[in-house]
Structure 1
């Protein structure tokens, strides 16, 4: 399904899931290119369609002194260079309607953060760029409620929509994943992605730094593939402990290939 949404994506085995993966935030050109090169090598080997992800700016931070970015234009140019260098689509998130047209000049997919998935003007602005719009499901919404987010984009003349689940708020400092939501959202006629890393966040910690449970990434990914997710979203970094953002729940880059090998086998068995 994703091949029809982003024609530039490398054509791979149509029975496979696709992958959105990369660092949480764009930290610099060298590390972005190194991460992309490693993932492209792995996904080419495994015939997994690949979209490079990286936030050009982090607008939703717990503390005012948290890392937010290296500068909008600088980060967006890096995203463009990654796409051009490796011939893969790129995705980044936007936070206000005024960012949509500017960001669309650099990337192939505009992502709507979970906390903003009900923002009508933002969804319409993203839709009107003509780019694919990846809407993350709000932690506070049911899967069924995401139909209205999809409708806002489609009613604005853009049928290129992806939905991404990232868990549901469970108390104050934890998230859970209701895997019933994946087939429910697929019934809307759009590809559905499981965010295997953000769904393991532990927000609202006393330190003001979000925690996470990266040891369970494989568990979430396997379950998502088992229930029919079209794609997986995984934040990965060669040194998560020293990443500028979301290091607590990212997958170490060295572990990505082994995980994807297992998931490809699982997908084949199910299909």
Structure 2
């Protein structure tokens, strides 16, 4: 299983970067997780739009799904249109993005595969186990497992003991860490810090911690240093171009 980070900015893409976007590959199957702002150009540096086999969206905020629109356009408006793209998302969560284009042609560019947070299902070679996590909108944390290897991904989340279960024994815990240490009070129920991510990674026994969704302007070095204070395993920031074999 190979993870390639396409982007990891929170809220909006910093100069030269992209928001949340992760390409997960196994046995020739390519799963795009969270096509946020500016993810498509980074994806197209690696593969053609038609080579994506499925998309999984954690929640409906545009920094996690806005580039679904240009991805579908690139597939359906090509000289040889790609087949409908299986789209796994919480019910209604990406309707606002899909509404950017209308008409029968775009309607044929994807196949909806709605799921409820808490469901388990298969996407190609991956087993997906989902869990509802606290955020301003419904958000599904997911465990993606293939051949005994697991990537756990939070999407965006506030503090909850459910993260211990999500991180449990994962080969990599890809965890939202918008702030290094203290989350502003108005966001404390719905976003997390590097310190909190590290604590959940340690309690869950995750083998590797990848900090993502850092707010623009946050020092990645500070986030890593804070996380290392509460977690003894490998800690890295999920920046565009990072590739990890699980």
Shorter-chain TM range is 0.3 to 0.5
| TM-score, length of structure 1 as denominator length | 0.37
| TM-score, length of structure 2 as denominator length | 0.39
Flag the structure with higher strand content: 2
Flag the structure with higher helix content: 1
